[in-house]
Every structure is written in C-alpha cells, then in structure tokens.
Amino acid sequence: MTGAPIVKAQMADVPAVRRPAKRSFVGRLLVALTVLFLTGFVVLPVVNVFSQALSNGIGAYVDTFYVPAPNPEAKLTLPERQKLSAERGSAELTWSSIRLSCVIAAIVVPLNIVFGLAAAWAITKFRFKGRVLLVTLIDLPFSISPVIAGLIFVLLFGRGGIFGAWATNLEWPDPTSLTWQGFAGHWWPLAFARTYDGIIFTPLAMVLATIFVTFPFVARSLIPLMDVQGSEEELAALSLGAGGWRTFRTVTLANIKWGLLYGAILCTARAFGEFGAVSVVSGHIDINDTMPLRIEKLWNDYDMQAAFSVATLLAGLAIVTLIIKSVVEWKTNRTQVAEPLEMEVKSDEHRSAEDQQILRLLAGAQGREP
C-alpha cells in the first residue's frame, strides 16, 4: 500500500465528523430493519387509530364525546328518540371515564411524587440495613403483571379477603358528590350526596391499584440522579447554618427538579394508560370506567369508531408525554453531563484569564515570572 490513500483518509477525517460515515452493508441492513419494524409496529397502528376514529367524519368523532340535547320542538320518531338517547348515554359514560381517569391521576401522581422523593432520599443519602431489599421492593410493580396487582387488592379488601370483614362494611363519602345544602336545619352547610360501600369495585380501589402500579417511576428516575450528586452540597448548606427545610428546598429540590418532573411525567402516562390492575378492581361497573376500560367496552359493543375516538385521546396524551419527556431529558443531561466535561477542559487545557492574572500578580509579588 502506498502513502497516498492514507493521506487522503486523514484529510477526509475532518468533514467526516459531520457527514455520516460511509455505511457498510450490515449498517444499511440494520437501519432498514429498524425503520421497517418501527413502521409496522408503531407508525401504522398510530395512524390507524386516527383514521378509524375519523372514519365517519368529524361529526361522528365529536358525537362520541358530546351529543347535544334534541330540540324539544323537533318531531322525532320513537326509534330516532331511542337512538339519540342511547348516543347521549354513551357520550355521558365516555365523559365520565375521562373525568375518572383525570381524578385518579390527580390523586395518584402527587402521592407518588411524595413517596418517590422520600424513598429516593432514604436510599441515596442514608446507609441502613435492608437498603438493597428496599430497592428491590420498589422495583416489584415493574416485575408483577398488573392483573396480579389488581388481584392483590381484591384478595386484601374483597369479600373473604384478609381485611374483607372490615373493608366491606366501610362506608365512605364520595368526595366528588360534595354539595351545598344550605344552613336550613343543618349547622354545617356542606354534605356528601353519595357514599360508597366497601373498597373493592369503587374508585378508591382503582386509586390504590394505580398507586401500586405507578410508584416505581418517580423513585426510579430520582435514585441514579441523587446517587451521582451525593450529599456534599447538602452538608455544605448545613455547615453554613441552613435548616433542614431550607436545605431541601434550595439545594436538593433545585438539583433534582428535572429528574422529578421526568418521573412525574412517566407516572402520569402510566396512570392514564393502566388497564389490567384497574380492570380487576373496577368490577366492570360503567361508572367505574377509566378511559382504557371505556375503550374496551365500546370495542365489545362493536362501536369501533367510538373506541378509536377515545383511543385518540390516549394516543395524543402519549405524544405530548413524549415531547415533554424529550425536553426534560435534554435538560437533565445538560445540567448533569455538561459540567464535568467543561471542568476538565478548563482546568487542564487553558486556565481562565482571571486565574492567569492572579498567577501573574502572585509571581510579581515574589519577583519572578510565572
């Protein structure tokens, strides 16, 4: 081999950093396979969801969620009235499923943020017996089938369950039914219009099941982050006289906020998407339907278009989640990775002008050149 090709290769090296390198056959094959796979299993189904949802036109799509009340003056035949009434009932149930999904997420996500923070804090900043066991337990919901997770609660609180006797007699008010009843005859103007009996087959059980299934997300996204950061900054804050709460707020929380948000997003996505666990404890009662459960029922009623319409909401949520997730990932990486790199370059390669000026000053004071 002569020297010429080598020189050429070296010269080509510089732009090669920007231009993708020349791919080999295997490289092309892998790229093609990946694209094919993603198209077949991700892109096509998502496109299908939207096309099916809109297959009967925008009007039908909107009707899934909202059917206006009939004009009382309009003369409708009995079958027309029955059809309209059925449509209105279905839309009402769909709405109720959206509401319930939102309520469950609104309860579960804040609780899991608090729990995840506490767990990550305990695991990363303290050394204690059973620490490894705790880490394993946090991962448990990831390794258990959601259906089993739901079943656990049935076996705990259901009739004949361990806490069955207590749980089935438990009567608790439905917080969403809080109504104003006025002062006439009451000393307290607010009252609950509905109460629930028992835990299983009520939204409470669904909240519990969702907490179980989603609790690893926040802790899992915080543990590696807090592990890397160690506790030196907290110690520094404490040594400067800051109290525990101030240290947590200004130092710990400031350092983990993006990781925490990342965990909360994943937790939210899962809370909305959970099917198996809530399906078991919902008792398949219509008013206990969340969005995924509602989709299943619509599908079983052969109402494809409505099922896909509700599915578009979940797909949309997934897309929004993905976008926020990438933004947050980019932010966390920037705050974490950029720093050590920059430090190395600065301390090794070129000291800053300020440092050099000081070196010169010091050298001057000692009467010599740096």
Partner 1 sequence: MRRISKSYGSSQALKDVSLKVNSGELVALLGPSGSGKTTLLRIIAGIEDADPGSGEVLFDDVDVSSTNVGKRRIGFVFQHYALFKQMSVFENIAFGLRSKPWRERPSKAVIRAKVEELLALVQLQNFARRYPNQLSGGQRQRVALARALAVEPQVLLLDEPFGALDATVRRELRRWLRKLHDTIKVTTIFVTHDQEEALEVADRIAVMNAGKIEQFASPEEVYERPANPFVFRFLGNYNLFHARHDGAPHPHDETETAAPVTFVRPHDVEILRENPDGSAIAAKVTHIGFAGAAVNIELVRHDDQQSIDAELTNQAYRDLGLKQDDEVFIRLRNSHSFYEDYAI
Run of H or E residues at 171: strand 171-173
Q: Select 40 or 230, whichever has its Cβ closest to partner 1.
A: 230
232 binds partner 1 per the rule CB under 8 A: yes
Helix (H) or strand (E) holding 191: strand 190-192
Instruction: For residue 94, give the nearest of 268, 319, 293, 269 by alpha carbon.
Output: 293
**Separation of alpha carbons 356 and 362, rounded Å:** 10
Please tell me the count of residues contacting partner 1 according to CB under 8 A.
Answer: 34
For the chain, the first-to-last Cα distance in angstroms comes to 49
Minimum Å distance from CB 23 to partner 1?
36
Q: Which is nearer to partner 1, 193 or 359 (CB)?
A: 359
Rounded to whole angstroms, how far apart are CA atoms 109 and 266? 10
Span interacting with partner 1, options 33-41, 128-136, 195-203, 362-370, rule CB under 8 A: 362-370
Asked if 362 interacts with partner 1 (CB under 8 A), we say yes
Could you say which residues in the range 251-270 bind partner 1, by CB under 8 A?
A: 251, 254-255
Closer residue to partner 1 (CB): 159 or 334? 334
| Residue 337 engages partner 1 in binding (rule: CB under 8 A) | no
Q: How far is CA 340 from the centre of its chain?
A: 29
CB closer to partner 1, 197 vs 342: 342
Structure tokens at 46: 């998502």
How far are the Cα atoms of 112, 128, 159, 209, 301 from residue 279, in angstroms, in the given order? 21, 38, 17, 10, 17
Strands 171-173 and 178-180: unpaired
Scanning 34-42, 157-165, 197-205, 353-361 for contacts with partner 1 by CB under 8 A, the matching segment is: 353-361
Which region among 78-86, 112-120, 195-203, 247-255 touches partner 1 (by CB under 8 A)? 247-255
366 binds partner 1 (CB under 8 A): yes
Min dist. Cβ of residue 227 to partner 1 (A): 15
Per rule CB under 8 A, is residue 240 in the interface with partner 1?
Answer: yes
246 counts as binding partner 1 under rule CB under 8 A = yes
Q: Reduced to 3 states, what is the DSSP secondary structure of residue 145?
A: coil
Q: Does 228 bind partner 1 (CB under 8 A)?
A: no
The residues, ordered by sequence, that sit 6+ positions from 151 with a Cβ below 8 Å of its Cβ are 280
Locus of tokens 């206990």: 288
Contacting residue, 348, 367, 368, 369, with partner 1 by CB under 8 A = 348
3-state secondary structure of 86: helix
Stretch that binds partner 1, among 96-104, 152-160, 211-219, 342-350 (CB under 8 A): 342-350
Q: Least Å distance between CB 252 and partner 1?
A: 10
- Judged by CB under 8 A, the residue of 6, 186, 359, 364 near partner 1 is 359
Judged by CB under 8 A, the residue of 86, 193, 228, 236 near partner 1 is: 236
Put residue 129 in one of left, alpha, beta given phi > 0 → left and psi -120 to 50 → alpha.
beta
- Distance of CA 67 to CAs 59, 71, 72, 286, 295, Å? 10, 12, 15, 18, 18
Does the protein bind partner 1 through residue 339 (CB under 8 A)?
Answer: yes
How far from the centroid of its chain's Cα atoms is residue 223's Cα? 16
- Tell me which amino acid residue 187 is: W
Among residues 300, 354, 368, 369, the one that binds partner 1 under rule CB under 8 A:
354
Decide: is 132 part of the binding site for partner 1 (CB under 8 A).
Answer: no
Size of the chain, expressed as the number of residues it contains: 370
Residues at the contact surface with partner 1, assessed by CB under 8 A:
232-233, 235-243, 246, 250-251, 254-255, 335, 338-339, 342-343, 346-348, 351-352, 354-355, 358-359, 361-362, 366, 370
